[in-house]
């Protein structure tokens, strides 16, 4: 069994990864929270890719012989010029709660969006192999921002994001939906396909 280290301190994201990877017996999943004395580096990149790479490299420095996956993701709203984007987790401030970020988003959309509520969740994953090779994967989930929050499952902007073709928000659809169709799930599916292509997985 090989070790896969997920470079995230977000409990919601980690739970999604563990749920999806439970069907991959070749991997035992860990996160940066399992590392003693680990201090995350500042996410000061200007793109999802740069921030994902920062996360991956910071964990890889401590787990040089193992698989490491770093990802950065967020919500891009058309009418807000793709904001909050890489600032999604801190849209309402450095230590903002999810509810505060959602409240600011809805307020900004009320001011600026008009009828255009189109948005997408974007995830960029950087995987560093045990040999130090870097793989990059990207997943997108398109939809609209609902006028009000609805649903108790999920985290982040899930209560206000309604995927294309659905009549419920991600927070109503729940984790079973997300681990199959979310932006993060799509990027992870590409990673698993790459592992099969390179004969790491059978």
Q: What is the DSSP letter of 31?
A: E
Give phi and psi for 183, each to the nearest 5: -55, -40
Q: Pick the catalytic residue: 34, 65, 72, 98? A: 72
Return all residues near 170 (Cβ < 8 A) that are at least 6 apart.
151, 153, 154, 158, 159, 161, 162, 163, 177, 178, 182
Taking the C-alpha atoms of residue 173 and residue 152, their distance in angstroms, rounded to an integer, is: 10
Q: Are 56 and 69 in contact (CB under 8 A)?
A: yes
Q: Answer yes or no: 158 catalytic.
A: no
**Cis peptide preceding 59, ω within 30 of 0:** no
Give phi and psi for 157, each to the nearest 5: -95, 10
Q: Are 43 and 56 in contact (CB under 8 A)?
A: no
Joined together, the tokens standing for residue 159 give 């209560």
Taking the C-alpha atoms of residue 186 and residue 181, their distance in angstroms, rounded to an integer, is: 6
Active site residue ranges: 72
């Amino acid at each position: 069994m090989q070790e896969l280290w997920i470079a995230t301190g977000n409990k919601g994201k980690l739970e999604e990864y563990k749920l999806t990877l439970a069907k991959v017996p070749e991997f035992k999943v860990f996160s940066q929270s399992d590392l003693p004395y680990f201090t995350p580096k500042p996410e000061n990149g200007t793109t999802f890719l740069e921030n994902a790479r920062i996360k991956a490299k910071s964990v890889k420095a401590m787990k040089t012989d193992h698989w490491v996956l770093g990802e950065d993701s967020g919500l891009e709203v058309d009418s807000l010029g793709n904001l909050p984007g890489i600032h999604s987790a801190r849209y309402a401030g450095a230590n903002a709660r999810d509810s505060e970020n959602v409240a600011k988003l809805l307020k900004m959309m009320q001011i600026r969006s008009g009828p255009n509520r189109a948005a997408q969740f974007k995830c960029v994953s950087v995987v560093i192999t045990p040999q130090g090779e870097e793989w990059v994967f990207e997943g997108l989930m398109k939809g609209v921002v609902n006028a009000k929050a609805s649903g108790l499952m999920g985290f982040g902007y899930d209560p206000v994001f309604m995927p294309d073709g659905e009549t419920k928000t991600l927070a109503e659809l729940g984790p079973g939906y997300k681990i199959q169709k979310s932006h993060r799930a799509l990027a992870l599916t590409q990673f698993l396909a790459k592992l099969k292509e390179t004969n790491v997985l059978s």
